[in-house]
Amino acid sequence: MKRRIKLIGLLVLACLAAASESLGYFDGDFEIQRHFLPKEENFFDWKAYQLPLAWQREWYTVKNGIQATAGSLSQELFYQKHNIKLQADLHQDFSLLYSQEREEFYKSQPIHQQIEARFGHKYYVSILGFPKYEKKGENLGLAISLNEPYTMKHAKLTYLNQLATYNAKNVDDDRSEDTDDLVSTPQLFRFETRYRLLNQLDVILDLTQELEGVLQDGADGLEKSYSGYDYRGKLIWDVNDRWVGGLSFQRLSQERSHRPFNPPGAVIRDQQIDQYVLDLFVNVRFQENELTLGYLDSGFKNSIQGTQAYLMRLDGKQLYAKWHRGINHWMKWFYSLQIGTYDYIKTGEESDSGINSKAGLGLIFFKTDMVDFLVLTTWTADSVSSGQWDGGNMQLQIAF
């Protein structure tokens, strides 16, 4: 009973916090911006800061927990990613769920939050949304799902009407002027599934599609539009008790365009942002040790047309190794090594290509499968000889 009261309290606090943070999956940004990755080795940083495979697999079956990672991308920027999920079962046919997620890589992102009232048993129907201080930014939606989200037999389909009350709540006041309207709201569809086949193959998919949202900007006399998608997935194969193989992928795309509406004009595409990752890996466990070997193919591109013409592109391929070596019942050494090639293009700078290498040394503190905490230092080949480290990182996962 005390645990249930405590969990409900956490849910209430999370809901209150959401009111000042969230704008949903689309951040309401119809404007064109020169987003970029600040260094040619940033996908080496990205890979170094991803949580270990064993942690990720544990997360899929955690009912309530927190996971987070943060590490240096440059002297000015951090890579950050976190997930929070809470669930309070108030009745066999009614639960309250809260989730929060954010990943910041090439730009600052709002916190994506979901507060969900779920009805049913095994087969579920949910009402969900994201409150916000300015009500014109709130999001409302529905979902249907199969089985609990902390099992490996789960599927969920979500519909979210983003900025659902924008026009009704967009008023003239001391903060802003009512000069714009949404012609169509950016509607989101998301399909998630985690399923274990033949007690050997894990299939994890998270597919998000955002239909075109159109904003009529009275001040500029333009209709500005946005659409995008974010597809992610993993296949993990347990060959036997020691060996695991698999792959993970991500494909993200955003498109922004405009057209004059007074008088009407043709649609002009302004910006295309693309990011992709393909990660192939094999993992082996022996005694108190765990070794992961892999190959990562990755890329990012921001292309802007017209008078603001701009291009930033980074492509990279790398081989990597990560080794956990047991020390005692609550500590492990962590070693990593990455080596690969990159091609870097950015408007206003000389193009660059070459070979990068990065090594990592850290300590993992853990308590069974409830708490994992990694403190990591990373070093490039040239920084080791000069005694300068490349960046620091901390990774955390807690189940409760």
Q: Domains (ranges, CATH) in the chain?
A: 2-399 (2.40.160)
Which of 255, 236, 260, 261 lies closest to 247 in space, CA to CA? 236
Angle ∠(317,322,326) on CA atoms, nearest 5:
180
Instruction: Give the sign of the dihedral formed by CA 161, CA 100, CA 81, CA 283.
Output: negative
What are the tens digits of pLDDT across the range 192-249?
A: 999 999 999 999 999 999 998 888 887 778 888 999 999 999 999 999 999 999 999 9
Q: Residue 108: phi, psi to the nearest 5?
A: -70, 140
SS3 25: coil
| Beta carbons of 222 and 198 less than 8 angstroms apart | no
Q: What are the residue ranges of helices labelled H in the chain?
A: 2-18, 42-48, 53-59, 166-169, 381-386
Instruction: Give me 254's structure tokens.
Output: 């955003």
What CA–CA distances, in Å, run from 274 to 228, 255, 278, 298, 333?
Answer: 10, 9, 14, 11, 36
| Beta carbons of 245 and 237 less than 8 angstroms apart | yes
pLDDT value for 275: 96
| Beta carbons of 169 and 135 less than 8 angstroms apart | yes
Question: Which positions of the chain have pLDDT values less than 50?
Answer: 1-24
pLDDT value for 288: 87
pTM for this entry: 0.88
State the Cα–Cα distance between residues 136 and 50, nearest whole angstrom. Answer: 35
State the Cα–Cα distance between residues 173 and 187, nearest whole angstrom. Answer: 27
pLDDT value for 322: 97
> DSSP label at 62?
-
pLDDT value for 112: 85
Question: How far is residue 254 CA from its own chain's centroid?
Answer: 15
